[in-house]
Amino acid sequence: MKWLALLLSLSLLVMTHELGHLCFAKLFHTRVRRYYIFFNWKFSIIKAKKFNGKWHFLFFNSQTPEEWDEKNLKPEDQNNTLWGLGWIPLGGYCDIAGMIDETKSEEDLESVPQPWEYRTKPAWQRLLIISGGVLVNFLSALLLYTLIFAHWGQDELPLRNASLGYTYHQVMLDEGFINGDIIYAIDGKEMFDYTDATRALLLDNARQVMVMRNDTLTSLTMSGHLAEKVNSEQVRQIMAIRAPFVVKDFVAGSAAKKAGMLAGDSVVSIDGIPMACYDEITNYLSAHAGRDIIVGFVRNRDTNSALVSLATDGKMGVLLETDLSKLYNVKHIEYSIWEAIPAGISHGWKVLTSYVSSLKMLFAPGGVNSLGGFGTMSSIFPEYWDWQSFWSITAFLALILAFMNIIPIPGLDGGHIMFTLWEIITRKKPSERFLTIAQNIGMFLLIALMVLANGNDLVRWIKGML
């Protein structure tokens, strides 16, 4: 399910990105020869082109008929784009006439520049054409956040409202944290938001952290090397909300149900030992598999107990409540469509700035090992299908795609933008030969980066299997 969600999300992002290029190209009467979703090495699943007053289609075809070639079309049809769907789901492309990119070099251009080519357009028009993909990805992310807020509203769990505290990764335990701690302040600044807290810990080289521990404020002195340790251990999450053990439903033959427990019961102790969070309870159950235990639980504010005979796998036969809004005091905000617009824009900008700030981790020792490819991207999708999560993650990936594409590296849109801005400022246009060489160097770097990122995913997968 995760891979299906990733494929659908990336397909939508590629489609809108390339559509941004196409729309600006059409606006400035620049010919777009082909618009493809997915790559079409050897053959295409479908091709479509309009000429002679009607649409023509080809399915599972490797060659485009000669009469489809723009040179053989009537003048009024020569500007029509060939639309296609490839079979390799790793991206897509918009083939703009007269543009040197990852698919064309100077040898592939017309010998004489044509008025409908990208290279003959004024620099400001070329800047808008090449920026169109980034612009559409950024705007589509803000639009998605706006629609999400308008339809589902927004749930916020203030940092301190997680009354059971947080479970910390070993790198945090080594810094002096204890599972159950609730962060109250970092370097003298009060913390109310989970994202702000993790960002301060990892990116701002936090040194003093105030936590609430057993109803007492406790000060912790950090080593100053947390980011380095996180990269070294390839930690994905330094802290997670401790979820209470609340029964949602029962499986067939449930031992807990036989013992008289009901949906909604919240476990607070096992064998007289106070424990309320999921990880503590499941660890205890696993260690006492096949035995009889006394489960203490709260029902309608009354404390009860039941004798439960655990199965040999240490399970009680219950399904747990996972909706945080039913477990903690979650702040839910409803928006009208007009209220959702500024809220969506503000949230999108906050997500983008947080992501850009997090890139500082790459420059900490071992940061290159934290790079991830398609496997890492698929891991952020939930195991089950949820439209709210899907659109939220798609909006996040749209922002990442927009930012990554604007980095001034030849081979990315940012490289073209950099050279076009240079031309506007200096009034000197880079030669087509120079652009071809720069493009080749950029593509080599991008391929190497992709191999490294996906190689890291492969190494993590192998380690996980061992």
Q: Could you read off the pLDDT of 209-263 as tens digits, one per residue?
A: 999 998 899 999 998 888 888 887 778 889 999 889 999 999 988 999 999 999 9
User: Can you tell me the mean pLDDT for 277-292?
Assistant: 90
Stronger pLDDT, 46 or 358, i.e. the higher one = 46
Band (461; pLDDT cuts 50, 70, 90): confident
- Measure the CA–CA gap between 407 and 281, rounded to whole angstroms: 47
- Whole-number pLDDT of residue 61: 87
Query: Is the pTM higher than 0.95?
Result: no
- Whole-number pLDDT of residue 157: 84
Instruction: Inform me whether the pLDDT recorded for 195 exceeds 90.
Output: no
Q: What is the 3-state secondary structure (H, E, C) of 277-290?
A: EHHHHHHHHHHCCC
**What pairing do the DSSP bridges indicate for beta strands 247-250 and 216-221?**
unpaired
Nearest to 180 by CA among 241, 245, 269: 241
Its CATH class, for the domain covering 247-321, is mainly beta
Q: For residue range 376-386, what is the model confidence (pLDDT) as tens digits?
A: 777 778 777 88
Q: For residue range 389-403, what is the model confidence (pLDDT) as tens digits?
A: 899 999 999 999 999
Q: What is the 3-state secondary structure (H, E, C) of the chain?
A: CHHHHHHHHHHHHHHHHHHHHHHHHHHCCCCEEEEEEEECCCCEEEEEEEECCEEEEEEEECCCCHHHCHHHCCHHHCCCCEEEECCEEEEEEEEECCCCECCECHHHCCCCCCCCCHHHCCHHHHHHHHHHHHHHHHHHHHHHHHHHHHHHCEEECCHHHCCCCEEECHHHHCCCCCCCCEEEEECCEECCCHHHHHHHHHHCCCCEEEEEECCEEEEEECCCCHHHHHHHHCCCCCEEECCECEEEEECCCCHHHHCCCCCCCEEEEECCEECCEHHHHHHHHHHCCCCEEEEEEEECCEEEEEEEECCCCCCCCEEECCCHHHCCCCEEECCCHHHHHHHHHHHHHHHHHHHHHHHHHHHCCCHHHHCCCHHHHHHCCCCCCCHHHHHHHHHHHHHHHHHHHHCCCECEHHHHHHHHHHHHHHCCCCCHHHHHHHHHHHHHHHHHHHHHHHHHHHHHHHHHHC
Instruction: Inform me whether the pLDDT recorded for 200 exceeds 70.
Output: yes
User: Can you tell me the mean pLDDT for 67-73?
Assistant: 85
- Measure the CA–CA gap between 394 and 79, rounded to whole angstroms: 33
Structure tokens at 274: 């106070």
Instruction: Inform me whether the pLDDT recorded for 42 exceeds 80.
Output: yes
Band (335; pLDDT cuts 50, 70, 90): very high
CATH 3.30.565 fits 156-243, yes or no: no
User: Can you tell me the mean pLDDT for 144-152?
Assistant: 95
Stronger pLDDT, 242 or 324, i.e. the higher one = 242
Count the Cβ atoms, other than its own, within 10 Å of residue 441.
14
- Whole-number pLDDT of residue 12: 92
- Whole-number pLDDT of residue 312: 87
- Whole-number pLDDT of residue 438: 81
User: Can you tell me the mean pLDDT for 120-142?
Assistant: 94
Instruction: Decide if 264 contacts 246 (C-beta within 8 A).
Output: yes
Average pLDDT, the chain: 87
- Measure the CA–CA gap between 275 and 282, rounded to whole angstroms: 10
| Amino acid letter for position 118 | Y
Which position has the token pair 């790198």? 171
**What pairing do the DSSP bridges indicate for beta strands 32-39 and 88-96?**
antiparallel
CATH topology identical between 156-243 and 247-321:
yes
Count the Cβ atoms, other than its own, within 10 Å of residue 137.
26
Region of poorest pLDDT, from 87-96, 118-127, 344-353: 87-96
- Whole-number pLDDT of residue 279: 86
Q: Where are the chain's structural domains?
A: 144-153+334-466, 156-243, 247-321
Q: For residue range 234-247, what is the model confidence (pLDDT) as tens digits?
A: 788 899 998 899 99
Stronger pLDDT, 113 or 133, i.e. the higher one = 133
Nearest to 31 by CA among 133, 103, 119, 93: 119
Band (83; pLDDT cuts 50, 70, 90): very high
- Whole-number pLDDT of residue 2: 80
Angle, CA 40 vertex, CA 19 and CA 80 arms, to 5°: 45
Length of the chain: 466
User: Can you tell me the mean pLDDT for 426-446?
Assistant: 82
Give the whole-number percent of the chain exceeding pLDDT 70: 94
- Measure the CA–CA gap between 396 and 137, rounded to whole angstroms: 10
Nearest to 167 by CA among 243, 224, 106: 243
